Structure 1
Amino acid sequence: MESGIHLQDVSLTLQGKPVLAGITLHLTEPRIGLIGRNGSGKTSLLRLIAGLVAPTSGSLRVEGARPSDRKAMLGALGILFQNPDHQILFPTVIEELAFGLIQQGIPKPQALTRARAALAAEGRAHWENAPTHSLSQGQRQYLCLLSVLLMQPRWLLLDEPFAALDLPTQARLRRRLDALPQRLVTISHAPEAVQACQRVLWLEEGRLRADGAPDQVLPEFGAEMARRGAVDADTDL
């Protein structure tokens, strides 16, 4: 099987507006950061890799499969959105956890058994029948992560996973993510969130502006953000 995520000259246009242009990448590192300003195309790139949108041109493979191959992608990668309410589909925790397993072809009774075991292993067996809307923001984010991990993907795509969480919840989620065996691609506009990555990609206006080690990319990114912040007008937005 072809390893990693391959993008070759990928472009994306949505509603007549260019969003990504000429992106060529081969991603294999255990921890990859994706930085850029709001509107730079970061989330669009993750959605494209996940198969939620199709490229306008170019080619894309995830572990040798096309993102449009939904069966292959279920085991290849999972995505964690910034807002868990954009991801949760079911009214109870146990239903939400079992859904992905059922999508993978696991019979519902076995899926429910696995979901209960996962909750017990996390010390959250009491969540089983809890309404998903009754959980806090951080708890719903954690539920989404557990739902994805139950499907045992090889990659996790994380879209600003810490942005809406308080500091203690951020710390707990970060410890959990750091311990995972999966390869992680983490979106952030905050350099400190990707400082420990092996590789950092900087998107600017839908194009790859820099690609390298954090100590190479982040100082340049910080300097550019400081330069832009020193200008009163935001005419580039």
Structure 2
Amino acid sequence: MSTHSIRLDAVTLVRGNQHVFEGLTLSLQEARIGLIGDNGAGKSSLFRLISGLDQPQHGRVTVHGLDTQADRKQLSKHVGLMFQNPDDQIIFPTVAEELAFSLTARGETRQAARQQARDFLARRGLEAWAARAVGELSQGQRQQVCLLALQISEPATLLLDEPFASLDLLSQARLAAQLEDGGHQIVVSTHLLEHVYDFERVLWLDQGKVRADGPGREVCEAYAENVRERVALERDRRA
């Protein structure tokens, strides 16, 4: 098995009385992977399994050679998860402090981490952001800060859960450009299909199962057509 792969082997995840996944097997090795599907299809749950926040009742999840249960403490060095709401992720009052925290968590001294954070922002033309109060930033800018805080610690994989939600078109474009900055493997869950059309691989999840798996445009178009058919059927039933 490649040390740069994510594998789920016969994974079953039960939450309360709900079987979220049952016997799910996946291998995720591509550089750009999209996850699409209705709310409740299992996209966020898949991210929680890969990042070690949830553990399967059966089966095994392996991330870059690490077992998510036995090696859970090491996972944060290899996988970064960005939540849907940036306010659930940001802890510190200024941008530089937020980025520096990602480095102190990996063993850097506070002084060295803050300097690295300022240098990191400067290389991206964002040196003026270092002292900015996070509370004064727009939704899109806070999303950018969350992504920067993950990127600075250089995990092999970034898991982005609905990163474009609630963003205007300009903020979406900026965030999409930011995703291209770095050599991370990126897995994006989104309802905005245009952001994963050009991805080499997209998975359509449907009630915890993989309904389709293939090139981005092909899978996105199949899902969009399915949605149109369901809406038409609902309309006909009401008529």
Do both proteins adopt the same fold according to a TM-score greater than 0.5, normalized to the shorter chain? yes
What is the aligned partner in structure 1 of residue 226 from structure 2?
224
What is the aligned partner in structure 1 of residue 158 from structure 2?
156
CA contact (8 A) 2:81 2:158 kept: yes
Instruction: Report sequence identity in percent.
Output: 45
Deviation at 1:74, TM superposition (A): 2.3
| Structure 1 Cα separation of the partners of residues 216 and 145 of structure 2 | 30
| Structure 2 Cα separation of the partners of residues 180 and 154 of structure 1 | 10
- SS of 1:232's equivalent in the other structure is helix
User: TM-score, normalized by length of structure 1?
Assistant: 0.92
| Structure 1 Cα separation of the partners of residues 59 and 73 of structure 2 | 22
| Structure 2 Cα separation of the partners of residues 57 and 66 of structure 1 | 13
Distance 1:166 1:216, change over 3 A: closer
Tell me the alpha carbon deviations over residues 153-194 of structure 1, each in whole angstroms, 9 at most, x when there is no partner.
111111111121111111111112134311111111233221
Runs of 5+ consecutive residues of structure 2 not aligned to the other structure? none
Query: How is 1:114-133 mapped onto 2 (pairs within 5 angstroms)?
Result: 114-133=116-135
What is the aligned partner in structure 1 of residue 7 from structure 2?
6
User: TM-score, normalized by length of structure 2?
Assistant: 0.91
Higher alpha-carbon deviation: 64-73 or 104-113: 64-73
What is the aligned partner in structure 2 of residue 211 from structure 1?
213
| Structure 1 Cα separation of the partners of residues 133 and 217 of structure 2 | 44
| Structure 2 Cα separation of the partners of residues 137 and 144 of structure 1 | 11
- SS of 1:20's equivalent in the other structure is strand
Distance 1:167 1:84, change over 3 A: same
What is the aligned partner in structure 1 of residue 142 from structure 2?
140
Deviation at 1:70, TM superposition (A): 4.2
- SS of 2:172's equivalent in the other structure is helix
| Structure 2 Cα separation of the partners of residues 125 and 192 of structure 1 | 31
Over 6 Å off, 4+ runs: none
Q: What RMSD in Å do the two structures reach over aligned CA positions?
A: 1.8
CA contact (8 A) 1:21 1:206 kept: yes
Higher alpha-carbon deviation: 31-40 or 123-132: 123-132
- SS of 1:147's equivalent in the other structure is helix
Tell me the alpha carbon deviations over residues 199-228 of structure 1, each in whole angstroms, 9 at most, x when there is no partner.
111110111112122344233212211111
Distance 1:64 1:154, change over 3 A: same
Runs of 5+ consecutive residues of structure 1 not aligned to the other structure? none
Higher alpha-carbon deviation: 54-63 or 214-223: 214-223
| Structure 1 Cα separation of the partners of residues 205 and 57 of structure 2 | 18
- SS of 1:171's equivalent in the other structure is helix
